[in-house]
Amino acid sequence: MIKSNIKLLVLSFLLLISLKPLQSAEMVDPIKVEWSFKGLTGTFDRASLQRGFQVYKEVCASCHSMQYLSYRNLGEPGGPEFSEIEVKAIAASFEIEDGPDDQGEMFTRPGKPSDKFKNPYPNVKAAIAANGGAYPPDMSVLVKARKGGANYIYSVLVGYEDPPPGVTLDDGVYYNKYMIGNKIKMPNNLSDGLVEYSDGTESTVDQMAKDVTTFLAWAAEPELEERHRTGVKVIIYLILLTILVYLSMKKIWSRIDSEI
């Protein structure tokens, strides 16, 4: 009796869930990409991460901050894994404000690996003022902060289109198929051949969008590889212990069952 009831319960619940598509009529589902970091044992593609950092540095970084990342992160395991020398060179290519010095003055110096990523604007209000009233969001955790995650970010990057007839856009507003509400204040900044990849990969819009999205996915979840690795170990361990405890339980309870 209980079993048939549970079946009924599950069925009715599934029916309910299937109503879901009703809600999001206006939104286009983001493109599904087979990311290497998906799945139980997913890891990042190092080369893609390094290219993605290049796209970020050359294209995105002039407007978008990544304030929770430090240059040292670029050399840490599970990330782009630049060599120590490369990380130092990358950091040193930025002028970082430091101070106050012994005279009480602020000064700039070349960046060190321990410095946070340089912010393109001194504060949020300056960023808004410089971008026509829209704040270019900080990209440190952007992938986690958007429904659809990496797929959504990638889709927006490749989703620029001419507006369909009947849609009028204000100055500085662009039409994007995948953006929520379809209107976006960020222009389409990617074009074929925009950056020159040092590893010889052809820099198509699609390639750059994938690379920078991979980079952002790592930035949002730098622990992902360690998490997956630890997780597999933990689950195997737990299953092993569960089997042992199950057998012990059978043994212990057999005393009772044989008594009767």
Partner 1 sequence: MSEHEYTPKSKAGKWFNDRLPLLTLGAHLTDYPTPKNLNYWWTFGGILTFCLITQIVTGIVLAMHYVAHADLAFASVEHIMRDVNYGWLIRYIHSNGASMFFLAVYIHIFRSLFYGSYKSPREVIWIIGLMIYLLMMAAAFMGYVLPWGQMSFWGATVITNLFSAIPLVGDSITTWLWGAYSVDNPTLNRFFSLHYLIPFLILGLVVLHIWALHVPGNNNPVGIDIKKPSKDTVPFHPYITIKDAFALLVFMIIFAGFVFFTPNVLGHSDNYIPANPLVTPAHIVPEWYLLPFYAILRSVPDKLGGVILMFSAIFILFVLPWLDTSKVRSAVFRPIYRQFFWILVIDVLMLGYVGAMPAEGIYLVLARVGTIYYFLHFIVVMPVVGYLEKTDPIPMSISEPVLTGGAEPSLARKINDKV
Partner 2 sequence: MSKEEKKVNRRDFLFTASYTVGAVGVGAVIWPMIDQMNPDKAQQALATTEVDISNIEPGKSITVLWRGKPVFLKRRTPEEIAEARAVNMDDLPDPQKDEDRVKEGKDEWLVMLGVCTHLGCVPLKDKGDFNGWFCPCHGSHYDVSGRIRKGPAPTNMEIPKFEFVDSNTIKIG
Residues that bind partner 1 (CB under 8 A): 1, 5, 8-9, 12-13, 16-17, 19, 22-23, 40, 67-69, 73, 137-138, 140-141, 144-147, 149, 180, 220, 222-223, 226-228, 230-232, 234-235, 238-239, 241-242, 245-246, 248-249, 252-253, 256, 260
In this complex, which beta carbon is closest to partner 1, that of residue 75 or of residue 207?
75
Could you give the CA distance from residue 134 to residue 121 in angstroms, rounded to a whole number?
13
Q: Does residue number 245 form part of the binding site for partner 2 (CB under 8 A)?
A: yes
Check binding of 92 to partner 2 (CB under 8 A).
Answer: no
Which of 100, 99, 97, 44 lies closest to 73 in space, CA to CA?
44
Nearer to partner 2, 145 or 245 (CB): 245
Burial class (CB in 10 A: 0-12, 13-18, 19+), 59: middle
Backbone dihedral angles phi then psi of residue 110, each to the nearest 5 degrees:
-65, 145
In the bound state with partner 2, the residue whose beta carbon lies nearer, of 129 and 247, is: 247
Reduced to 3 states (helix: H, G, I; strand: E, B; else coil), residue 162 is coil
Residue identified by tokens 């089997």 is 243
Q: How far is the CB of 138 from partner 1 (least distance, A)?
A: 8
Report the residue number, 118 or 228, with the smaller CB distance to partner 1: 228
Is residue 240 a contact residue for partner 2 (CB under 8 A)?
A: yes
* Smaller CB separation from partner 2, 38 or 72: 72
* Residue among 35, 55, 57, 53 at smallest CA distance from 45: 35
Q: Taking a C-beta distance cutoff of 8 angstroms, is the pair 55, 74 a contact?
A: no
List the single partner that 114 binds among partner 2, partner 1, none, CB under 5 to 8 Å by kind: partner 2
**How far, in Å, are 71, 130, 140, 146, 187 from residue 87 at the CA level?**
7, 30, 18, 29, 30
Residues in region 53-72 near partner 2 by CB under 8 A: 70, 72
Which residues are at the interface with partner 2 (CB under 8 A)? 70, 72, 76, 113-114, 237-238, 240-241, 244-245, 247-248, 251
